[in-house]
Amino acid sequence: MEKIDVQYIDLGLIDYKKAWDYQEEIFAHFLQIKSKNRDLPENEQVAIENKLIFCEHPHVYTLGKSGKQNNLLISEAFLKKINATYYKINRGGDITYHGPGQIVGYPIIDLEQFNLQVKQYIAKLEQSIILTLEQFGISAGRLPGATGVWLDSDNAKARKICAIGVKASRFITMHGFAFNVNTNLEYFNHINPCGFVDKGVTSMEKELGRKVDYKKVKDVLRSKIEEVFGMNLKK
């Protein structure tokens, strides 16, 4: 199958709301294109220029539209004390944490171009993370009934290393994944991550017992996403 061109954008460390607004702008533009294309003959339709955005956020908690407010276990005053912000947002899933040392990915793509349903799309995101971890000697997998990437998913020690929460409309996606590389895991103590009260979280740093080369992980992950999805990433 021919590879699909996707623009790769690295926003670096960016405020969560700024990145969210940026995503929303692209998402709305793509929806507009799709809407117009429906009434045009194929040779006049405008192609959607798929994007893969990588970034990192200062400390922030985000609650998905199906999440429960009481999964945030701290007060507004305590949020300020730990230099964190909090947003209710429009992705699926419950509460999660973003912070320095975490790779956050926001693919804004047209799933129809990739011939994917939403569940297949999520599975491919998970697979990209699993293959990346494999390169660093970490064995990971999936947990039945839960999204994301887990370690020791088949026993009581199950812990999540990557959270996934997406939004899709007319097969256009936004939001994405949060992959713990050198993440300060103490911030997860203030929430029930993804609504789970009986599961742990982890990071590459914790599993390997050392800081990991963040840029190297990002490069490997980018190449795995390219491979798994059949993308041709261009800057």
Q: Hey, which residues are catalytic here? A: 194
- The per-residue DSSP string of the chain comes to -PPEEEEEEEEEE--HHHHHHHHHHHHHHHHHHHHHHTTS-GGGPPPP--EEEEEE-SSEEEE-TT--GGGB-S-HHHHHHTT-EEEE-SSSSSEEEE-TTEEEEEEE-BTTTTT--HHHHHHHHHHHHHHHHHHTT---B--TT--SEEESTTSTT-EEEEEEEEEEETTEEEEEEEEESS--GGGGGGB-GGG-SS-EE--HHHHHTS---HHHHHHHHHHHHHHHHTEEEE-
